[in-house]
Structure 1
Amino acid sequence: MQDAGGRGEQAAQATLLLDIFGNPFRPIALESEWLTSTVLALAEGIYQDRAFDRMPILADALQDAGCDSDDVLTHCRGPGPHVRGCWVVDVLTGRK
């Protein structure tokens, strides 16, 4: 039988995996119009500076650029944790 600490660890690992890989059952098609200079600069800055507290700002910029993907916007505005390798940042910066 697994203790509460083990379940907590599994939940934390699952959260990190979702941040890195997203939902494999709901792939996102990146729209070229989302790739404004503001979005790209924010995404690159988040990656380079590991400044994942800027993810809600990235969500706003994406929405301003026409992004209507609930998965992308909800992920960016979510509590995280976000880590280097975050699927949204990697897709936007061409790392994935």
Structure 2
Amino acid sequence: MSKAPVSAPQPAAGTGIYDGVDHREPTGHGNSPAAWTTVAVMLIGALIAAIAFVIANTPIFIAGVVIMLLGLVVGFAMRKAGYGVGGSKLKNTGH
């Protein structure tokens, strides 16, 4: 047996999938009233659609899908109204 140290091969520089991403600007991660409202409305729609799928009720399933699409519209409208990340209606607390 050899007592030579074993080292794992190192990947070549610049081969990662995120090499072209600029990390200087914060992303915000969607922490805004518009994002939370969008997610809440879409979750309610998904719950309705899932229950309708299980009980095989097509009209209620379609209503759930429509509610999910409505969530997208509500979120877009709230973002345009200034309630999105960095929006004019939000107080910047520095956190």
TM-score with structure 1 length normalisation? 0.30
Q: Which has the higher helix share?
A: 1
* Larger relative contact order, structure 1 or 2 (CA cutoff 8 Å, min sep 6): 1
- Superposition TM-score, scaled by structure 2 size: 0.30
Bigger CA radius of gyration: 2
